[in-house]
Structure 1
Amino acid sequence: MISLIKFDNQLSTEEYLHGGIRRIANLLGYDVAKLITFDESNTYATFQRIFIREGIDYNVSYKNSKRLIKHFSNCVFGLLIKTKQIIFLSKNKDDKAEYLPLIEEMENEIYIPLFSGNGKNREVTGCLYLGCTDKTKVVDGSTFLDKDISRELSIIQNLYQLEYIKISRKKRMLNVIYMMSQIIREREPYMITHPYNVAQWSLAIGKELGFDEKRLETLYLSAVLHDLGKIYISADILNKPTKLTDEEYKKVKKHSVYSYSIIKNMLQFTENFDKIAIFAKHHHERYDGKGYPDGLKGEEIPLESRIISVADTVDAMMSNRTYKKAKSINTVINELIRNKGKQFDPNIAEIMIKILMKSKAINEEILSEPIIWGTLLITTSGKEYFIEGTLVKNEDKYVFMTETFDFNRDIEKSKITDIRLYLEKNQNVSEYDIKIDKYYKNELYISEIEAKHIGDSFSMLWDLEGFLIDNKKKVYKINITRVGGNFMSFYINDLKIDKEGMDKILKVVIQFEEDCNVVVTGKISRSYHVGIKNYYDFNFINISDSVRDNIFRQLFKKQIETRKSIIYSLAHSN
């Protein structure tokens, strides 16, 4: 008798590798294990995964961190790369330590080299680190002759090589993405942040749909690359401020097919490249079948393409262009409602509306406060006024009250060209456009108030710090909140920049990494004070294309690293 047994192996090479690391740590009785990779120049050591013993098992942390190898001259990494041998480091208080332990609390540490390539061409590209607090857990050459330990190390080495190939391919893919981004930036400068904004909206929708880590990552990359084919479209057409002719529109419609071809040809060794290409190709299909390039309808359109379609449209509506102003969240939501089942998948549109409503709710939650401290910025043809006070809600009306400014005496209403309000809650500052109803002495009555969406720069999802140096060489430590291609925003706690320096060209040092400082020059275009923080908008002046490219290179690199950890968190939050 013959029996057929279905075997569905769902484990990835990464999961097998993690299992091997857990087993080798357990066999040796060690408390901590770390999977570490080195960059091609042996400058950085990246801690990819950390395993910590908890009872009889090891919990894994997916939070990546980097260390500069050259800043750790007495660290074992350099010796490991040079000798290509397993290194055992035992803490001995009586000896002068030539090499410091990686983790100070560990009594014994083992550094096992991990290789890429074979034979004479093999290089140390990673390390399996093991540490323990028990000083009796000593190893020597015979330890690794043990059959079980030797077998596990062999398995780990083979699995690591497979993972390293995947990592290398991903790096090449990211380099291609960056290169293409620069081409798009030159041809369509107003769209430089568009692919990343679309990717962020897509990621949020994917999370709501319960996508797993790998699917979220594929979705994110598909969204980043969705407009890649525009490099084949004339820049004059892409940046045309008036309506396109029928012939011009036909040319633009080809960009999604071009995106498909580029991804298929240039990223063919990348995991899921075929899916990424297909998702990019169909992001302009419509749910009612009236889209392009293939006129797919309903669920014939890949789900990821339907997601990108909604995210793409939302960002286009909420971003400023040469030919139009950004639309409000309310307008965007109404457009999504109006086009459900026509242009958009009804379910995806509903999810996007839910996400936008959350964003809208945050701004409305602030406005629902009966009284909140804020800063009013009034711009006239010749002067800017920064006025601190409180926003008071009275039923459905708002009044801004201040003790430092007399609206009747200190300003003429006819000379006002722009007026904005800044409110802070839970460390977040929201900006609002407002319209004046009337004012009386120290009170400004507001007829309309609407949250302002900023779409032409990157919000910092991580702590980005730097230094501002004024013309007197005075140094201010700054916390950067937004960075774009032509400007940045930052705040300083407690201190204010000297008034004299506000009109001068200043220097800012952006600290992306320990060894990567980007220096820019510019002038402060606007400042405002909320709580204990002094906020500044800083416009770049006379910065070269190479400096601007470096800013975007560092932003993109960090964006991908941060998104990767966010993807994992999102995938495991439900």
Structure 2
Amino acid sequence: MENTTLSQFFDFEVHFKEFIKRNSYFTNVASAYFAIFNDNTTRINYKYKYNFSDVLTASLIKSMISDSEIVEKNHISEIRKCNNPPFECGKNVYMINAINPASNRTDILGSLIVCSDIPPSYSCENSVFNLPYFLQIVYHIETVLSNYEKIYYIVDTFTEVMASKDTIMPYHMTGVANNCIELSIFLGLEPIDQTLLYFSALLHDIGKLFIPEAIINKEEELTDDELNIFKIHARKSEEMLKTILHGMTLFEDIPKIVRHHHENYDGSGYPDGLSGEGIPYLSRVLKVADAVDKISSKNAYKTRGVVDSIIKELKINSGKVYDPALAKAMIKILVTENENLIEENTGNTIYIPQCSFSFSYMEKTNIKSLTGNLILRGNSGTFVIHDYDNKIYSINAMLNSTISFFKNGEIFEYKVLVKKIEDGRLYLDNIRFLPTDTTFSMVWNNSAILYNKELNKKNRVDIIKLGGDAVIFTVDKNSDLARELLDNIKGEFQIHIKESIDEIELDTTLNIKIVKYYLGYGYTFICRYLNIQSGQKDLILRLLFRKQMENRKWKTKLLVD
């Protein structure tokens, strides 16, 4: 919801016109721009434009303040006349700023820029400018926005409750949400519809709180009676969301979207047996996104075989279960998605459950890891800790702080700066993507043999990423091997990798050292090679490039089919 236009939350036009009416010397306003900033005035969080091009940034507004003259001020607000505005919007440009009283007048809560062809009629000795009313507008808007921001903590609470019934559920919720983001961008949906779809995906299964765990976690096919009980979760989700989201008018359609995400295109779904265009459009999008993640979640990592299964399901049931146009769109996304390049999130706020925060404390070899949920806002965010060990950590002693999470079988790793620790939350800034390999790496899905020289023990591990400089593998979090690795985190190990693609064969043993670990599905260990020989590295890279070529051929064939 970051960088969101205010009109999506409420009718700011009414407030703006009332403000102009209450300030008699603002006549013939040609254009206006209103912005609400983050806590330290480094980013515009919310904006409103009236006949104004979208050219402003927080830094540009700060420079305008530096090149302006104060016309009127009090301890919490001010009006300034801009001398050399960096845009063309009228002969007279004025800024009205609401000041954060706790910041020694250095931070601005909100700024209104007004452009007019006619000079304002005011007297500095007897001004009629209504600064208090402007401050009321800012506080009112911030109150409304903070109310909407609570939805992330609502999602966080329900994620933890659902995880107690079904440990996979948090991953499913965010997996469906990620699929919805990709679909909504591909379909060119309006920002408000993208927001509605995203939160609908995160909350679509909360009605399962009413379903017995024995039914939710049953591996065999449900009986008719069990299936009827299971089906009530769509209606229960709607009922809960109507209560939870009461008063959030922006989200008033979410309960209906969630209610109908199990309707089938041919009318055979539930709870109301709607069909075709009679099913809300966003519910149809959510239906496809949900189905894709259900197939993916049967395998933690999205291998070629899993993608084949998803595409087969979408093709067979296009026009029956799924909207044909949406099934076709999802297939194209699956075939053309980039598996190797991960772009940083610089857009709207997103919610990511079951993340892991890793850092070295005091010294590089003293590695720590915490689990929790991440609320990511551009290059900053809040990490809500769920396994807090009640130790008091100094942020100055946290070294090499990183955060990781899984999306579509790929591990995302980001370097972060910890600004503050408070009430079981880490406030993060300067979040930037951290490649796990300096040369080239790919998602992998095979096993290898890990050798612990100190204990003289061999164990099989699952490789999830292989690169020219590093290897990433996972082990079950409750296994003896996990405990052995954590107890010997500073030690050195050997890993034997045996792979072959066409005529390229890799059968080698590599010395490795654990550089960090994360706790998610299981323990994920990131290891660097020690003294790798040039021949070994060349062979790994040749294998990776051949794998990449195979994937491209496979995707081309799918597009042709």
CA contact (8 A) 1:50 1:61 kept: no
Change (3 A) 1:236 1:472: closer
Tell me which amino acid in the other structure corresponds to 2:200: S
CA change 1:526–1:14 in 2 (3 A) is farther
Give the 3 Å change call, closer, same or farther, for CA 525–204 of structure 1 in structure 2: closer
- Choose from 202, 206, 209 the match for 1:228: 206
Residue type of the alignment partner of 1:277? P
**Does the 8 Å CA contact 1:193/1:457 hold for their aligned counterparts?**
yes
**Counterpart residue identity of residue 322, structure 2:** F
Q: Relative to 1, partners in 2 of residues 1:528 and 1:194: Cα closer, same or farther, differing over 3 Å?
A: closer
Aligned to 2:35: 35
Alpha-carbon separation, structure 2, partners of 1:330 and 1:488: 21
What is the percentage of aligned positions where both structures have the same residue? 23
Change (3 A) 1:551 1:22: farther
Mapped partners of 2:223, 2:307: distance in 1: 30
Equivalent pairs, count: 366
Say whether the 8 Å CA contact 2:464–2:472 is kept in structure 1.
yes
Q: 2:240 aligns with which of 262, 283, 287?
A: 262
| Residue 301 of structure 1, aligned match among 279, 290, 293 | 279
Partner of 2:109: 127
Cα offset for 1:21?
10
- How much is the aligned-residue C-alpha RMSD, in angstroms? 5.7
Deviation at 1:477, TM superposition (A): 3.0
- Indicate yes or no: 2:188 matched with 1:216: no
Q: Secondary structure at the match of 2:253?
A: helix
SS in 2 for 1:189: coil
Alignment partners' CA distance in 1, 2:209 and 2:273: 23
1:539-558 equivalent positions in 2, closer than 5 A: none
User: Paired residue for 1:196, among 174, 192, 216?
Assistant: 174
Q: Is residue 2:400 matched to residue 1:477?
A: yes
* Matched-pair contact (CA < 8 Å) for 2:266–2:321: yes
TM norm structure 2: 0.51
Q: For 2:405, what is the secondary structure of its paired residue?
A: strand
What SS class does the counterpart of residue 295 from structure 1 fall into? coil
> 1:182 is matched with which residue?
160
Q: 2:438 maps to which residue?
A: none
Within the candidate set 235, 242, 245, 2:223 is matched to 245
Q: Distance in 2 between matches of 1:11 and 1:173?
A: 14
Secondary structure class of the residue paired with 1:331? helix
Q: 1:308-337, CA deviations, whole angstroms, 9 ceiling, x for partnerless residues?
A: 111000010111369x99961122111101
Determine the structure 2 residue equivalent to 1:48. Answer: 45
In structure 2, what is the Cα distance between the partners aligned to 1:216 and 1:427?
Answer: 19
Alignment check: 8 A CA contact 2:95 2:112 kept: yes
Q: Which residue of 2 aligns with 1:356?
A: 334
Instruction: Name the CA distance, whole Å, in 1 between partners of 2:307 and 2:58.
Output: 34
Assess, with a 3 A threshold, how the Cα gap between structure 1 residues 514 and 21 changes in structure 2: closer, same or farther. Answer: farther
Structure 2 contact 38–44 (Cα < 8 Å) conserved: no
Q: How does 1:265-276 map to 2 (within 5 A)?
A: 265-276=243-254
Displacement of 1:142? 5.8
TM-score (norm 1): 0.50
Task: Work out whether 1:166 is the aligned partner of 2:144.
Answer: yes
The 2-side partners of 1:216 and 1:257 are apart by 23
Match of 2:467 in 1: 530
Aligned 1:18-417 pairs, distance under 5 A:
35-36=35-36, 47-49=44-46, 59-60=54-55, 85-86=76-77, 111-113=97-99, 127-129=109-111, 143=124, 146-147=127-128, 149-150=129-130, 156-157=134-135, 159-160=137-138, 162-320=140-298, 328-359=306-337, 362=338
Separation of aligned partners in 1, 2:294 and 2:193: 24
Q: Aligned equivalents of 2:95 and 2:316: distance in 1?
A: 63
Flag the 1:50–1:281 CA change in 2: closer, same or farther, 3 A: closer
Q: Do the aligned partners of 2:261 and 2:287 also contact (CA within 8 Å) in 1?
A: yes
Shift of 1:210: 2.7
CA shift in 2, pair 1:255/1:129, >3 Å:
same
1:478-497 correspondence runs (5 A):
480-482=403-405, 490=413
The residue matched to 2:228 in structure 1 has which SS?
Answer: helix
* CA distance in 2: counterparts of 1:144 and 1:173, whole angstroms: 47
Q: Displacement, 1:483?
A: 5.4
CA gap 1:240/1:144 in 2 versus in 1, 3 angstroms: farther
Distance 1:537 1:288, change over 3 A: same
Distance in 2 between the 1:144 and 1:526 partners? 75
- 2:405–2:520 CA contact under 8 A, matched in 1: no
Letter of the 1:306 counterpart: R
Paired residue type of 1:530: G
| Distance of aligned partners of 1:238 and 1:354 in 2 relative to their CA distance in 1, 3 Å threshold | same
Q: Hey, what's the Cα distance between the residues in 1 that align with 2:100 and 2:18?
A: 13
Judged with a 3 Å threshold, the aligned counterparts in structure 2 of structure 1 residues 146 and 88 are, in CA distance, closer, same or farther, namely: closer
Q: Which deviations, in whole Å up to 9, do the C-alpha atoms of 1:258-278 show, x marking residues without a partner?
A: 001001122111124431101
State the match for 1:134 in structure 2: none
Query: Unpaired runs of 5+ in structure 2?
Result: 1-6, 60-72, 82-93, 102-106, 114-121, 345-351, 368-396, 428-451, 453-460, 487-518, 522-561
**How many Å separate the matches in 1 of 2:57 and 2:208?**
36
Q: Distance in 1 between matches of 2:216 and 2:57?
A: 41
CA contact (8 A) 1:88 1:111 kept: yes
* Deviation by residue 1:62-85 (Cα, 9 ceiling, x = unmatched): 899xxxxxxxxxxxxxxx9xx853
Q: Aligned partners of 1:340 and 1:222: how far apart in 2? A: 23
Is the 2:43–2:58 contact (alpha carbons within 8 Å) kept by the matching residues of 1? no
**Distance change (3 Å), C-alpha of 1:353 and 1:512:** farther
Question: Does the CA-based 8 Å contact 1:114-1:128 persist in structure 2?
Answer: no
